[in-house]
C-alpha cells in the first residue's frame, strides 16, 4: 500500500484552532439561562451524616439544592460495580465526598453559599494506609477491605529457592500522583422532556458517562446524550471521574429546569478527584551466581481509596507488568487492591504498571549488586526473547529484541563511559564532591489495548461515511485530548483510501451520532481503534470498487476520481457508509480464572536511560539527560509520537522527583499548584526520543500503542541513577530533597560533612 501520510508529521488536525485560541473547551460555552453549580463535600473521612444546615445571610430560596433524596434512579456512579454513591446518603466514606449540590446564576454568590452549608458528621473510625487496611483495623468496604486480588503462577516458585546462590528481597513504595491536566474538570448538563439528559464535557470516555447517567436517571439509552468538548488533557484523570460531575450537573439541571455548568477550580480538582494509586511492592528473587534469575515472588498492593471505581483493572495491569520483559521459569505474583478512607484513586497513564515497574527495575539493580554483576548484564541474561514466555505464560510471538534496544540506548547516552567516569569522579575528594553524578536505566514493556479478553467484551465499533464531494467522515467514540487521535485517524483513513488528510473529517464524539469505540485509555486508540478505522476505510473503498463507481484499484486513484466515484455511488445507491466491529483474533487466548495467557495482543518494548546530578548539600536532584528508546511498531506521526513520549517522560520525572501528595487524615493538604510541584520548563533535561520500528501485523499500517509506555520506565531509571550517584538505596518515590537527605544521612560512614550540616539545617 502506498503511504501518503503515514510516517509523516502531518500537522495536528485541530492545531489551528488551538494555536489561535479558537478551540472551544467546555468552560468557553455559555447557554441561555445557564446556572452555575457547585458541590458541597464531606468535611470528614468517615461517619454518619447527622444534619445538613443552610446558614448565613444567603437568599437560599433562590438556590437549586440537590441531595441524595433527589435522585430518581439509582444513587450511584455506575462503573464496574455500583458501590459509589453519586451523593452521600446517610454516610460518608471519605473526605470531599459529594453531599449537597447547589446551583445559582451568580457564581460569586454561589461560592459564598457553599461556605455556609454545614454538614454535621458523627465520626466513625477511619483508616488511611495500606497496612491498616490489610490488618483490618476497621472494615470499611465489603467483608475484608479487598476490592480485588489476583494470583499469577508460573512454574513452581517454592521449589526454586533451594537452587538459588543468592536470594534478594526488598520492599518498594510509590506515592499518589495527580494527573494535573491544565484544564480542570468540567461539564454542562441540560435536562428536558424533549431530549432527556444532554451533557457536554471535558472527558475521555463518552460512553462511560452515558452508562452512568442511564443508571442514575433510570432513562432509556436514547434519552441520554453525551458530547465531548475540546479536552485540555486527561491522562486518565478524565476517564471515570467525569461521570460523577456529569451526574451532579444533570441532577441540578433536572431540578432547576436550566442548563447547569460545573467547572472545578484547581483546588477542588486536586483535593476531590482521582489520583494515581499509591502502592507497596515486595520482591523476593532467587538468582544464580552468574545472574540467571530462577524465581520471582512478587507481592503488589495498591490503595484504592474508599470505593472500587477502576481499582480492579488498575491492579490487573500493575500485576501483569510486575515481572517485566524477563524470561523467568518460576514466577508468583500475588496482588490486591485495598480500601482506605481516601477519595478513590483512579486511572492515570500507565494504570498500575508505573508502580510495579518502579519496584521491579529498582529491585533488579539491587539483585545485580548482590550477585556482583553489572545491572545491564543481569538484564541481558534474563531478557525475554521471541518465543519465550512472560510471567502470565504468554508466548512472545511478535518480533522483538530487548538487547538491541539496550545497545542503542546505551550508545546514545554514552552509558558505559559515563557509568565509569561518574563513579571515579564521585569517589574523588574522599567522596566529598559537592555535586555527584549518576547514570541509570530501566528496561520494560507495556501492553497495548485492554487486558486479556477485554477487547473482546468491548467489541468496539467504528463507522465511516463519504459525502458526494469526496469528504470522508470518521465516526468513532474515541476522543482527542491532546494525544493526537484526530490526526492519526485522519492519516490512517487517508492512506487506506489514497486521499489527503484534509479530506478526512473526524466527527465530534457524541453518543447520539458516533458508535461506541470503547474508552480512550489503555494505549488502545491507535492500535485497536485505528485498525478499525483502517478496515472501515478499506470497506468503503471496496464498496466503491464493487459497485463500479471507482475503477482503479490502485491507491493512486486521484482525489478527483474519488469524489466523482462517491457522487456517482450516492446518486445510484444512497448513502455511502461502512461499519466495522472489532473481531478478537482467534489465536489469542486468555484464562481469566488463572490469570494466564495472551494478556495483550502486542507490547511496546523500551529501555530508558537517565543521567542525574545530586547536589550533596541540598540533596536536590537534577535530571541532566534522558534517552528514551522504544519499539512501538510503525510510527504513524513522528512529531506526535515523540511528543507523547516526551510528555510522558516529563510526567515520569515528576512522579520520580517532584510530585508529592501530602495526606492528612485521608485528605490532600497541598492541593495547589504552588505546593504540589510539577516540572516546569526549567526542570527538565533534553528528552531524547528514539523509535525502533518493527511493524505489527495487526496494527493499522503496523502501529502499536505508545500512550502509557513512558510513565513506566522513567522513575526507576532516575532512581537507579540516584543510587549510582550517591550510593543510597532508593526504595520509595517521590525522591524529594527531604527524603534524599534522610537517606544520605543514614549512609554508613559515607556521609560527607557538608551533607551532615545540610541534614541538620
Partner 1 sequence: MSDARRKVSVTCEVNGERATFESYPMARLLDVLREQLKLTGTKEGCGEGECGACAVEMDGALVNSCLVPALQAQGTRIRTIEGLGGSDAETLHTVQQAFLTCGGAQCGICTPGMILAAVNLFARIPQPNDVQIREGLAGNLCRCTGYMKIFESVVEAVRRSGLVETQSVTRT
Residues near partner 1 (CB under 8 A) are: 9, 11-12, 14-25, 27-28, 179-184, 230-235, 265-266, 481-484, 639-640, 642-643, 646-651, 672-674, 678-682, 684, 686-687
Give Cβ neighbours of residue 534 (< 8 Å, ≥ 6 apart).
492, 493, 496, 700, 701
Closest CA to 376 of 416, 412, 411: 416
Helix (H, G, I), strand (E, B) or coil at 263: strand
d(CA 38, CA 101): 6
Q: Which is nearer to partner 1, 465 or 646 (CB)?
A: 646
Rounded to a whole number of angstroms, the minimum distance from the CB of residue 688 to partner 1 is 9
Q: Is 166 exposed, middle or buried (0-12, 13-18, 19+ CB in 10 A)?
A: middle
User: How do strand 260-263 and strand 35-41 relate by DSSP bridges?
Assistant: parallel
Interatomic CA distance for residues 757 and 583, integer angstroms: 64
* Largest Cα span, the chain: 87
Q: 3-state DSSP call for residue 225?
A: strand
Dist CA 513 CA 504 (whole Å):
17
Comparison of 9 and 389: residue with beta carbon closer to partner 1? 9
Residue number, 286 or 521, with CB nearest to partner 1: 521
Closest approach of partner 1 to the CB of residue 628, in Å = 10
Q: How far apart are CA 146 and CA 336, in angstroms?
A: 7
C-alpha cell at 236: 486518565
Task: Please tell me whether the peptide bond between 734 and the residue prior to it is cis, using omega within 30 degrees of 0.
Answer: yes
Inter-axis angle of helices 206-217 and 241-256, nearest 10: 50
Gap between the Cα atoms of 374 and 380, Å rounded: 10
**Cell representation of residue 67:** 441531595
**CA dist., res. 580 & res. 569, Å (int):** 20
Angle, alpha carbons 333-315-130 (nearest 5°): 90
Q: Which helix or strand (DSSP H or E) is residue 602 part of?
A: strand 602-615
> Are the C-beta atoms of 35 and 95 separated by less than 8 Å?
no
Residue 488 C-beta: closest distance to partner 1, Å: 13
Closest approach, Cβ 331 to partner 1, in A, equals: 34
CB 440 to partner 1: min, Å: 19
Q: Helices (DSSP H) in 147-237: which residue ranges? A: 157-160, 206-217
**Beta carbon nearer to partner 1, 45 or 482:** 482
Return the number of the residue (163 or 182) whose C-beta is nearest partner 1.
Answer: 182
What are the backbone angles phi and psi of residue 344, rounded to the nearest 5°? -55, 135
Strands 47-54 and 117-123: what pairing? antiparallel
Q: How far is the CB of 310 from partner 1 (least distance, A)?
A: 21
Alpha-carbon dihedral of residues 382, 387, 390, 394, nearest 10 degrees? 180
Classify burial at 383, counting beta carbons within 10 Å of its beta carbon; exposed 0-12, middle 13-18, buried 19 or more.
buried
Q: Compute the least distance from the CB of residue 99 to partner 1, in Å.
A: 24
| DSSP H helical ranges for 165-296 | 206-217, 241-256, 266-272
Q: Which of 175, 169, 187 is nearest to 39 (CA)?
A: 187
Q: How far is the CB of 650 from partner 1 (least distance, A)?
A: 3
Q: How far apart are CA 390 and CA 574, in angstroms?
A: 51
Rank residues 672 and 756 by Cβ distance to partner 1 and give the closer one: 672
> In the complex, what is the shortest distance from the CB of residue 480 to partner 1, in angstroms, rounded to a whole number?
9
* Nearest distance from C-beta of residue 346 to partner 1, angstroms: 17
**φ/ψ of residue 548, rounded to 5:** 85, 0
Work out whether strand 576-581 and strand 590-591 pair parallel, antiparallel, or are unpaired. unpaired
Least distance between partner 1 and beta carbon 474 (Å): 20
The least CB distance from residue 302 to partner 1, in Å, is 23
C-alpha span between 255 and 640 (Å, rounded): 44
Terminal C-alpha separation, the chain:
66
Q: Residue 287 Cβ, how far from partner 1 at the closest point, in Å? A: 36
CB of 176 to partner 1, least distance (A): 16
- Tell me how far, at minimum, the Cβ of 588 lies from partner 1, in Å: 32
Write the DSSP symbol of residue 527. Answer: I
Shortest Cβ 233–partner 1 spacing (Å): 4
429 in Cβ contact with 453 (< 8 Å): no
DSSP 539-552: HHHHHHHHHTS---
Amino acid at each position: 500500500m502506498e503511504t501518503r501520510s503515514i510516517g509523516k508529521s502531518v500537522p495536528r488536525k485541530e492545531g489551528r484552532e488551538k494555536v489561535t485560541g479558537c478551540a472551544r473547551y467546555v468552560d468557553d460555552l455559555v447557554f441561555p439561562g445557564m446556572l452555575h453549580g457547585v458541590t458541597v463535600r464531606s468535611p470528614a473521612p468517615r461517619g454518619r451524616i447527622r444534619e445538613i444546615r443552610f446558614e448565613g445571610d444567603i437568599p437560599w430560596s433562590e438556590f437549586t439544592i440537590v441531595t441524595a433524596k433527589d435522585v430518581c434512579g439509582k444513587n450511584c456512579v455506575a462503573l464496574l460495580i455500583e458501590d459509589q454513591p453519586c451523593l452521600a446518603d446517610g454516610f460518608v466514606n471519605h473526605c470531599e465526598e459529594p453531599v449537597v449540590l447547589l446551583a445559582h446564576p451568580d457564581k460569586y454568590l454561589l461560592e459564598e453559599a457553599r461556605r455556609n452549608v454545614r454538614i454535621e458528621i458523627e465520626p466513625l473510625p477511619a483508616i488511611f494506609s495500606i497496612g491498616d487496611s490489610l490488618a483490618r483495623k476497621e472494615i470499611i468496604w465489603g467483608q475484608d477491605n479487598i476490592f480485588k486480588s489476583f494470583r499469577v503462577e508460573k512454574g513452581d516458585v517454592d521449589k526454586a529457592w533451594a537452587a538459588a546462590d543468592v536470594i534478594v528481597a526488598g520492599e518498594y513504595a510509590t506515592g499518589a500522583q495527580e494527573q494535573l491536566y491544565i484544564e480542570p474538570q468540567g461539564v454542562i448538563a441540560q435536562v428536558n422532556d424533549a431530549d432527556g439528559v444532554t451533557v457536554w464535557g471535558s472527558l475521555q470516555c463518552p460512553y462511560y458517562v452515558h452508562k452512568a447517567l442511564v443508571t442514575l436517571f433510570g432513562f432509556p439509552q436514547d434519552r441520554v446524550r453525551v458530547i465531548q468538548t475540546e479536552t485540555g488533557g486527561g491522562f486518565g484523570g478524565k476517564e471515570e471521574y467525569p461521570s460523577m460531575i456529569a451526574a451532579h450537573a444533570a441532577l441540578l439541571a433536572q431540578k432547576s429546569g436550566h442548563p447547569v455548568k460545573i467547572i472545578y477550580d484547581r483546588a477542588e480538582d486536586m483535593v476531590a478527584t482521582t489520583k494515581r494509586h499509591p502502592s507497596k511492592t515486595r520482591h523476593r528473587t532467587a538468582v544464580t551466581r552468574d545472574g540467571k534469575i530462577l524465581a520471582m515472588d512478587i507481592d503488589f498492593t495498591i490503595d484504592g481509596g474508599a470505593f472500587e471505581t477502576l481499582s480492579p483493572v488498575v491492579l490487573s495491569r500493575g500485576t501483569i507488568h510486575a515481572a517485566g520483559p524477563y524470561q523467568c521459569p518460576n514466577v508468583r505474583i500475588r496482588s490486591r487492591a485495598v480500601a482506605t478512607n481516601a477519595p478513590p484513586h483512579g486511572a492515570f497513564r500507565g494504570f498500575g504498571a508505573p508502580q510495579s515497574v518502579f519496584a521491579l527495575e529498582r529491585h533488579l539493580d539491587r539483585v545485580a549488586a548482590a550477585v556482583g554483576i553489572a545491572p545491564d548484564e543481569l538484564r541481558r541474561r534474563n531478557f525475554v526473547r521471541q518465543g519465550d514466555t512472560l510471567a502470565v505464560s504468554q508466548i512472545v510471538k511478535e518480533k522483538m529484541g530487548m538487547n538491541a534496544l539496550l545497545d542503542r540506548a546505551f550508545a546514545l547516552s554514552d552509558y558505559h563511559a559515563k557509568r565509569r567516569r561518574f563513579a571515579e569522579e564521585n569517589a574523588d575528594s574522599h567522596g566529598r564532591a559537592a555535586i555527584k553524578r549518576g547514570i541509570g536505566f530501566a528496561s520494560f514493556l507495556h501492553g497495548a489495548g485492554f487486558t486479556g479478553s477485554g477487547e473482546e467484551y468491548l467489541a468496539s465499533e467504528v463507522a465511516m461515511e463519504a459525502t458526494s464531494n469526496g469528504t470522508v467522515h470518521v465516526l468513532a467514540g474515541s476522543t482527542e485530548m491532546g494525544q493526537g487521535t484526530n490526526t492519526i485517524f485522519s492519516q490512517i483513513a487517508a492512506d487506506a483510501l489514497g486521499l489527503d488528510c484534509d479530506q478526512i473529517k473526524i466527527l465530534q464524539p457524541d453518543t447520539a451520532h458516533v458508535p461506541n469505540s470503547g474508552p480512550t485509555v489503555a494505549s488502545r486508540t491507535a492500535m485497536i481503534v485505528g485498525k478499525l478505522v483502517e478496515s472501515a476505510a478499506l470497506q468503503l473503498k471496496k464498496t466503491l470498487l464493487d459497485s463500479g463507481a471507482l475503477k482503479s484499484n490502485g491507491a493512486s486513484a486521484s482525489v478527483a476520481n474519488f469524489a466523482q466515484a462517491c457522487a456517482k455511488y450516492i446518486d445510484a445507491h444512497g448513502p455511502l457508509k461502512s461499519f466495522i466491529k472489532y473481531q478478537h483474533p482467534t489465536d489469542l487466548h486468555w484464562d481469566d480464572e488463572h490469570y494466564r495467557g495472551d494478556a495483550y495482543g502486542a507490547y511496546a518494548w523500551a529501555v530508558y536511560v537517565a543521567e542525574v546530578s545530586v547536589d550533596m548539600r541540598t540533596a536536590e536532584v537534577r535530571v541532566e539527560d534522558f534517552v528514551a528508546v522504544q519499539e512501538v511498531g510503525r510510527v504513524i506521526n513522528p512529531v506526535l509520537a515523540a511528543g507523547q513520549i516526551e510528555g510522558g517522560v516529563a510526567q515520569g520525572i515528576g512522579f520520580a522527583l517532584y510530585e508529592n501528595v501530602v495526606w492528612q487524615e485521608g485528605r490532600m493538604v497541598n492541593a495547589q499548584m504552588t505546593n504540589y510541584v510539577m516540572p516546569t520548563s526549567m526542570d527538565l533535561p533534553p528528552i531524547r526520543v528514539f523509535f525502533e520500528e518493527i511493524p505489527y501485523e495487526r496494527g493499522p499500517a503496523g502501529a502499536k500503542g505508545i500512550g502509557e509506555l513512558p510513565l513506566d520506565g522513567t522513575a526507576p531509571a532516575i532512581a537507579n541513577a540516584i543510587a549510582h550517584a550517591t550510593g543510597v538505596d532508593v526504595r520509595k518515590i517521590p525522591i524529594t530533597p527531604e527524603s534524599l537527605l534522610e537517606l544520605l544521612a543514614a549512609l554508613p560512614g559515607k556521609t560527607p560533612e557538608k551533607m551532615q550540616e545540610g541534614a541538620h539545617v
